Amino acid sequence: MFATLSTVLSGFVVQGSLFDLGRPDIASLDGTVERVALSDSAWIDIRRDWISGSAQLVDSLVRTVPFQAESRPMYDRIVDVPRLTAFYAEDDDLPDPLLDAMRTQLDAHYEGELGERFVTAGLCLYRDGRDSVTWHGDTIGRGAVSDTMVAIVSLGAKRTLKLRPRGGGTGRRYDLGHGDLLVMGGSCQRTWEHAVPKTARAVGPRLSIQFRPTGCR
């Protein structure tokens, strides 16, 4: 069931769960994160419901972030990338103080293990089930040759994030949304791939926020 927060914007509707209303807030990471070991020294951390009241935050970010539609060559034609994106570099101000607070808490929890701070933020807006991202690893920059971390905060509707080892093997899937946090670490970007597939189900928008250290994309 969906909540009363429903804003028509640019031709689609932003909706939040009844359990996701109220003022946005961040819970603690201490003692609440579940680590899942993958193959080849890769791992993921999961923290469900890290951000509460995220429907209000999604509504604000959709209104204020300068999302862009991208296109790319595929075979003999140019196709639209099936999602909207925005990127905030190391020296850019983030679009909402809550994103600064997220990054500060992620740094406090992971800096000892990562050896550095999260400095950039990428935002992807999946407008409905037709928007997606195909299998890939974040291997632009240092992630192609060294271990790193990517912290993904999923706001809005739940969507399936799939992971699979490069070269074949047993994959995993996680339904993420409404403030869930997933962190990919170790060799995950080099030895595993992840994707958000299309779905025929009627789903509302999902907003993904990715925090990365310097030199990773």
Q: By mean pLDDT, which of 70-79, 85-94, 144-153 is the weakest?
A: 70-79
Burial 19-44 (b: 16+ CB within 10 A, else e): ebeeebebeebeeebeeeebeeebbb
Cite the DSSP H helix spans in the chain.
Answer: 54-64, 97-114, 188-191
Of 37, 36, 40, nearest in space to 166 by CA: 40
Q: How far apart, in whole angstroms, are the C-alpha atoms of residue 65 and residue 82?
A: 18
Q: How far apart, in whole angstroms, are the C-alpha atoms of residue 17 and residue 82?
A: 24
pLDDT at site 71: 76
The answer, yes or no, to whether residue 12 has pLDDT greater than 50, is no
Per-residue model confidence as pLDDT tens digits over 105-143: 999 999 999 999 999 999 999 999 999 999 999 888 787
pLDDT classification of 78: cutoffs 50, 70, 90: confident
Q: How far apart, in whole angstroms, are the C-alpha atoms of residue 82 and residue 117?
A: 30
Place of tokens 């923290």: 47
The answer, yes or no, to whether residue 1 has pLDDT greater than 50, is no
Sign of the Cα pseudo-torsion (24, 123, 33, 174, in order): positive
The CATH superfamily of 2-212 is Alpha-ketoglutarate-dependent dioxygenase AlkB-like (2.60.120.590)
Q: How far apart, in whole angstroms, are the C-alpha atoms of residue 96 and residue 58?
A: 11
Please, what is the average pLDDT of the chain? 88
pLDDT classification of 82: cutoffs 50, 70, 90: very high
- Chain-centroid distance of CA 180 in Å reads 9
Per-residue model confidence as pLDDT tens digits over 56-68: 899 999 999 999 9
Per-residue model confidence as pLDDT tens digits over 35-48: 999 999 999 999 99
- Chain-centroid distance of CA 110 in Å reads 17
Q: Where are the domains of the chain?
A: 2-212
Phi (first) and psi of residue 167, to 5 degrees: 90, -5
Q: How far apart, in whole angstroms, are the C-alpha atoms of residue 186 and residue 43?
A: 6
Per-residue model confidence as pLDDT tens digits over 140-197: 878 778 899 999 999 999 999 999 999 899 999 999 999 999 999 999 999 999 999 9
Reported pTM:
0.89
pLDDT at site 44: 98
